Amino acid sequence: MIDGTKHSEAEPAHHALDMVMRYHQETKHHFSHFARAPGSLDWANQPDPFRRYEGAPLFALPRLQPKDAPASSLYEDLYRPGAIPSVALSVRSLSRLFEYSLAISAWKQAGEVRWALRSNPSSGNLHPTEAYLLIDAVDGLSPGPGLYHYAAKEHALELRAQWPKEGFMRLLQGFPPESFLIGFASVIWREAWKYGERAFRYCQHDVGHAIGSMRIAAQTLGWRMLLLDGLADDTLAALLGLDRAGDFEGAEREHPDCIAVIWPAGEAAGHATSPMPCMPLSLAADAACDVTEHVWCGKANRLSRDEPVQWKIIDQVVIASWKSHTDRKVVELSQGRPDADPSHHVSRPYSGQTSAGQLIRQRRSALAFDGTTSIPAGRFFTMLMRVMPRVERGLTRRPMPWDALPWEPAVHLALFVHRVDDLEPGLYLLARDPAKVNTLRDAAHPHFDWTTPACCPDGLPLFLLQEGDARALAAQLSCGQDIAGESAFSLGMIAEFESSLRKHGAWFYRRLFWETGLIGQVLYLEAEAAGVRATGIGCFFDDPVHQVMGFNDASFQSLYHFTTGGPVDDPRLTTLPPYGLDD
């Protein structure tokens, strides 16, 4: 598998586009057959979900109790601009950041078998996403700037490279004071071991969830985050040390995904202290790639017994979707707050007193739904408001967490509403960018109604397409999984597919999935806040979904499904604390 190595000799753009389209087409599930995958699971060769760099100095992050400082804010305050004071950068606040984004949140046990769950969800709980931190000296970590790998099992940071101060300063020139970087990379083999050719998609969903969980964790600390999407993937690989073949000798490689800047925003008093009117979307490539003065530490551990199984089409889509150029774009940073969250105008029947940390810790995927729980319309509308990036009013700053993504949103929701009080069951559409309503309408079945539900709040572009009982249909489309029909509602995330790829390039394929993962992460927490539960659904029959919508070409494609409702727990599972079991 070629992930992690350099692909600067990029394919011509049209070849790359054709390849990405072909990968997408060939990894569809059909009623008649599934995308190619191993016939059976080779349990003895299952990749370890925990990467370590052997020989790298390990810095334990303090294990904080829920009430320890920095204690988390109320969940509802995440969405109230300026409500959360910016916490000082320290090893404790970094510990919270990782706890709320990527740490182990519990161990589950059934009989003799025990497995870890984390703050971020993952397709098949396989956790392909690895995280890296590049930061200046912080008390409790290395005395100078350093690149660290996050070791989730230990809740610790392992030092991968010591950076010279001058190189670090040059790298972060143009960013607010105290800015640091978080990078994500995928061990594609972890997903391919189980899911075969469709695994590349699942890795991208998981990156989207990781971006979302990190953005939301940063918000609990009053910090901001922006994806530095202008960076070329070669630069990213060099920056994160993923192109260092010698450090991965005999170990599975990682595919560089993305990097984000996080900074303590200082907005608590109602004013932004950031002096930056604009922020670059890339880093000084020469500073990023000049690793001559770095002191590198550690060798990646081997994750599975045998060599990864080769899936040629994954290797091909890795190359085709590789971003081989740097965009020198900047984004304008609003000095003010984003607009107040419009969902505050919608009635909220649930108490807003739960802490964000509590909901993040308790977030779990529902394994089954009860087929009876319904949710109030007000709460349903709030959930939908929270996934609206609100591009329509020319805001320079979008609401959290959409302020982390620098591109125009390109994903809409096709909703199968089963049990929402005061709302007719049926098929609905939420246009996350209202300017796209007509394009969606032109592409969909002509017989759809496109009526606005009577109780729909102003400014929410939600349309009833067709009334009716969609429970059996939703379950059938999601690979026959009952969780899509026994819930209160389920949905397909409909991407503006071909036009986005033609506009931006084949590398944007991965971004479309990241956007869906971020939508999923918001909805997971919204479900917990509403007293229900959610589950991401990567297994669905692609083209049958498009047929239900009336999409007959690649203009719109469903990339990810999701479901929310009243959960049914499995009493055979025991829950154990996240850390300290082996101390």
Task: Work out how close the CB of 4 gets to ligand FMN at its nearest, in angstroms, rounded to a whole number.
Answer: 22
Task: Work out how close the CB of 98 gets to ligand FMN at its nearest, in angstroms, rounded to a whole number.
Answer: 16
What is the sign of the dihedral through the CA atoms of 400, 406, 328 and 150? positive
Binding string, residues 537-556; x marks residues near ligand FMN by CB under 6 A: xxx-----------------
The amino acid at 135: I
Token match 């703050």: residue?
Answer: 119
CA distances (Å), origin 8, targets 262, 269, 415? 28, 46, 41
Strand partners, 108: 115, 575
Which of residues 214 and 287 has its CB atom nearest to ligand FMN in the complex? 214
Task: Work out how close the CB of 391 gets to ligand FMN at its nearest, in angstroms, rounded to a whole number.
Answer: 25
CA atoms within 13 A on the CB side of 563: 31
Task: Work out how close the CB of 145 gets to ligand FMN at its nearest, in angstroms, rounded to a whole number.
Answer: 33
- DSSP letter for 227, please: E
> Does the protein bind ligand FMN through residue 204 (CB under 6 A)?
no
> Does the protein bind ligand FMN through residue 523 (CB under 6 A)?
no
Give how many residues touch ligand FMN by CB under 6 A. Answer: 20
CA distances (Å), origin 386, targets 381, 383, 399, 471, 554? 9, 5, 9, 24, 28
3-state secondary structure of 160: strand
Instruction: Give backbone dihedrals phi and psi of 109, rounded to 5 degrees, phi first.
Output: -135, 135
CA distances (Å), origin 168, targets 60, 133, 282, 365, 459? 23, 13, 14, 39, 44
β strands within 291-356, DSSP E: 295-296, 299-300, 330-332
Interacting residue with ligand FMN among 125, 354, 358, 466 (CB under 6 A): 125
Task: Work out how close the CB of 356 gets to ligand FMN at its nearest, in angstroms, rounded to a whole number.
Answer: 17
Window of 157-165, 173-181, 530-538, 575-583 that interacts with ligand FMN by CB under 6 A: 530-538
> Does the protein bind ligand FMN through residue 202 (CB under 6 A)?
yes
HEC states along 16-51?
HHHHHHHHHHHCCECCCCCCCCCCCCCHHHCCCCCC
Question: Cα–Cα distance between 164 and 136 in angstroms, integer?
Answer: 10
Which of residues 38 and 550 has its CB atom nearest to ligand FMN in the complex? 38
Binding string, residues 466-505; x marks residues near ligand FMN by CB under 6 A: ---------------x-x----------------------
Copy the structure tokens of residue 562. 């999701």
> Does the protein bind ligand FMN through residue 121 (CB under 6 A)?
yes
Window of 217-225, 309-317, 459-467, 533-541 that interacts with ligand FMN by CB under 6 A: 533-541
Window of 77-85, 122-130, 190-198, 269-277 that interacts with ligand FMN by CB under 6 A: 122-130
Which of residues 242 and 483 has its CB atom nearest to ligand FMN in the complex? 483
> Does the protein bind ligand FMN through residue 92 (CB under 6 A)?
no
> Does the protein bind ligand FMN through residue 535 (CB under 6 A)?
yes
Window of 67-75, 428-436, 461-469, 529-537 that interacts with ligand FMN by CB under 6 A: 529-537
Task: Work out how close the CB of 109 gets to ligand FMN at its nearest, in angstroms, rounded to a whole number.
Answer: 14
Which of residues 481 and 500 has its CB atom nearest to ligand FMN in the complex? 481
Binding string, residues 434-473; x marks residues near ligand FMN by CB under 6 A: ----------------------------------------
> Does the protein bind ligand FMN through residue 321 (CB under 6 A)?
no
Window of 120-128, 226-234, 285-293, 344-352 that interacts with ligand FMN by CB under 6 A: 120-128
> Does the protein bind ligand FMN through residue 123 (CB under 6 A)?
yes
Window of 116-124, 211-219, 421-429, 490-498 that interacts with ligand FMN by CB under 6 A: 116-124
What is the sign of the dihedral through the CA atoms of 419, 420, 424 and 430? negative
Bond before 425 cis per omega within 30 degrees: no
Task: Work out how close the CB of 562 gets to ligand FMN at its nearest, in angstroms, rounded to a whole number.
Answer: 9
Interacting residue with ligand FMN among 93, 220, 282, 365 (CB under 6 A): 365
Question: Cα–Cα distance between 363 and 365 in angstroms, integer?
Answer: 7
End-to-end CA distance of the chain: 37
Copy the structure tokens of residue 356. 């964000």
Task: Work out how close the CB of 460 gets to ligand FMN at its nearest, in angstroms, rounded to a whole number.
Answer: 26
Which of residues 454 and 576 has its CB atom nearest to ligand FMN in the complex? 576
Residues 140, 146, 150, 155, Cα dihedral to 10°: -10
The amino acid at 182: I
Which of residues 444 and 475 has its CB atom nearest to ligand FMN in the complex? 475
> Does the protein bind ligand FMN through residue 364 (CB under 6 A)?
yes
Question: Cα–Cα distance between 331 and 557 in angstroms, integer?
Answer: 29
> Does the protein bind ligand FMN through residue 117 (CB under 6 A)?
yes
Nearest partner of 530 among 384, 336, 339, judged by Cα: 384
Asked if 464 and 470 count as a contact pair (C-beta separation under 8 A), the reply is: no
CA distances (Å), origin 329, targets 86, 138, 229, 302? 27, 30, 9, 38
> Does the protein bind ligand FMN through residue 5 (CB under 6 A)?
no
> Does the protein bind ligand FMN through residue 563 (CB under 6 A)?
no
> Does the protein bind ligand FMN through residue 205 (CB under 6 A)?
yes
Question: How deeply is 301 buried, as exposed, middle or buried, from its count of CB atoms within 10 A (0-12, 13-18, 19+)?
Answer: middle
> Does the protein bind ligand FMN through residue 209 (CB under 6 A)?
yes
Asked if 261 and 214 count as a contact pair (C-beta separation under 8 A), the reply is: no
Task: Work out how close the CB of 365 gets to ligand FMN at its nearest, in angstroms, rounded to a whole number.
Answer: 3
For ligand FMN, the binding residues (CB under 6 A) are 117-118, 121-125, 202, 205-206, 209, 364-365, 481, 483, 535-539
